Amino acid sequence: MEFLLKRSLANPKYEFSYGVEDHHTGDIHSHKETRDGDHTQGEYSLHEPDGTVRTVKYSVDKHSGFNAVVEKSGHPQHKHQKNSYY
């Protein structure tokens, strides 16, 4: 039993993913990640208030540490407010 526990701790392995799409609040984001031993990689994305999507892709290992690449896609859509006079 002790051998199996040490072996599983020595080589952790998992994967997960989830997503949220709440049109009432405008919250739209997702995240996924995998790990096999000392190497982890994943990405997450979110819809920004200006209509663009930010995606972060990352990897982690004991030699290079944490590395991320951030991408932004789409064209910003700024809402114009009308002047209000009271």
Q: How do residues 30-67 score in pLDDT, each as one tens digit?
A: 999 999 999 999 999 999 989 899 999 999 999 999 99
pTM: 0.73
pLDDT per position as a tens digit, 6-15: 655 678 999 9
pLDDT over 60 at 1, yes or no: no
16 neighbors 33 (Cβ within 8 angstroms): yes
Sign of the CA dihedral running 16, 22, 23, 25: negative
How many helices (H) and strands (E) the chain has is answered by 1, 5
- What lies within 8 Å, CB to CB, of 53 at 6+ separation is 45, 46, 47, 72, 73, 74
